[in-house]
Amino acid sequence: MRVSMMNLYSNNLHSLQKSTFDISKLNEMMSTGKSILRPSDDPIGSVKVIGSQRDMAATNQYLDNTESLSTSFSRAETYMSSMVELQGRMREISVSANNGSLSPEDRAAYAAEMNELLETFVDTVNAKDEAGNYLFSGNKTDTAPIGQDANGNYVYQGDTSTREVQTSTSSWMTANSTAADFLFSNGSADILNQTKDFIAVLEDPTLAPGDNAFDQVAIDMQTSLDDSLNSISSAITDIGGKQNTLSLVQASHEERVLFNKEVIGETEGLDYAQATAEFNVKLTALKVTQQTFVQVSQLSLFNHI
């Protein structure tokens, strides 16, 4: 009799503990919305979830990279477009000022405007991002790309290095455009120094269109402006192509993230209706087990007799 009572007590205690554990686990599943709480719950499913989570984390990092690149490209494109507008006006002045009917005062007025355009152009090329880094200096982001030497000539102070950013498992994209690429030649800013020379000619009352010194500077100025405009426009076109590529890459990454979310959801997502029904069944079973356990606990040999 004693063995039978001990077995009965032990069995009821085990049932009570199991029911309590099952309900606690279901409660945790319902609070987290996950059917897999530990790898042991579903080893195969856990491996699939972990793989999808890792892939999604890597893809999200690539997405962050592409978004950062897109912002950087848009910023550079904005400044380059301003450069084109400024040089476009310089080109107009170089033609209009090469007119023999203009007075020295007229040419001086053009010189003043050209000087303002030049200063604004230099400031634009020396633009910084929100972190205070120069945009067009290569990897020398703490150095303004355009400076002046001891003689007052414009020189390039950056380097020609590029920064590569990974956009996918096997793809990288150049993140920056250097002023050396679209403005400078052999370490000197010819167009900027030629602009200075043209301003000096316009300010010289002894020179006028028809004079060899004036005409040659004006012709060189127009030619250099055309070359510079083409170079900057080409850089803008290159950025536009990169932006188009980024849009395709971003769309692909977003689809991949969505796919991984679906895999994770299908693998570890909880069917709340089924879980609720199972919870209610186990809760009812727990109450019955508790009542039985109390009754068994109160039994003794004396009560049995």
CA distance 124 to 127: 5
Q: Which of 153-162, 223-232, 271-280 has the lowest mean pLDDT?
A: 271-280
Q: Is 16 exposed, middle or buried (0-12, 13-18, 19+ CB in 10 A)?
A: middle
Q: Which of 149-153, 207-211, 294-298 has the lowest mean pLDDT?
A: 294-298
Helix segments in the chain, DSSP class H: 2-32, 43-96, 104-125, 179-182, 190-203, 212-268, 272-298, 301-304
90 found inside a domain: yes
pLDDT in the model for residue 298: 60
Q: Is the pLDDT of residue 25 over 90?
A: no
pLDDT digits (tens, 9 = 90+) for 160-182: 999 999 999 999 999 999 999 88
Same domain, 12 and 58: no
pLDDT in the model for residue 15: 63
Structure tokens at 115: 């000087």
8 found inside a domain: yes
Same domain, 168 and 249: yes
Domain encompassing residue 285: 2-33+270-304
Q: Is the pLDDT of residue 300 over 60?
A: no
Q: Which of 80-84, 106-110, 274-278, 299-303 has the lowest mean pLDDT?
A: 299-303
144 found inside a domain: yes
Helix segments in 126-211, DSSP class H: 179-182, 190-203
- Average pLDDT of the chain? 85
Q: Give which of 131, 124, 116 is closest to 232, Cα–Cα.
A: 124
- How many other β-carbons are positioned within 10 Å of the β-carbon of residue 218? 18
Q: Give which of 52, 38, 3 is closest to 265, Cα–Cα.
A: 52
CATH code assigned at 78: 1.20.1330.10
Same domain, 254 and 144: yes
pTM, to two decimals: 0.77
29 found inside a domain: yes
Q: Give which of 222, 239, 110, 93 is closest to 173, Cα–Cα.
A: 239
Same domain, 142 and 286: no
7 found inside a domain: yes
Same domain, 257 and 274: no
- Dihedral of the alpha carbons of 78, 80, 82, 87, in degrees to the nearest 10: -170
42 found inside a domain: no
**b/e map 49-68, b = 16+ CB within 10 Å:** beebeebbeebeebbebbee
Q: Give which of 70, 48, 47 is closest to 253, Cα–Cα.
A: 70
Q: Scan for tokens 């971003």, then name that residue.
A: 250
Same domain, 275 and 259: no
Once rounded to an integer, what is the mean pLDDT over residues 247-258?
A: 96
Top mean-pLDDT range of 31-40, 239-248, 284-293: 239-248
The number of domains in the chain is 2
Ramachandran assignment for 33, one of left (phi > 0), alpha (psi -120 to 50 degrees), beta (any other): left
Residue 140's identity, in one-letter code, is K
pLDDT digits (tens, 9 = 90+) for 191-237: 999 999 999 999 998 888 888 888 889 988 999 999 999 999 999 99
Furthest-apart CA pair in the chain: how many Å? 136
233 found inside a domain: yes
Same domain, 69 and 158: yes
Same domain, 55 and 111: yes
38 found inside a domain: no
Q: Give which of 113, 134, 112 is closest to 123, Cα–Cα.
A: 134
Same domain, 21 and 130: no
Same domain, 138 and 275: no
Same domain, 154 and 296: no
Same domain, 66 and 205: yes
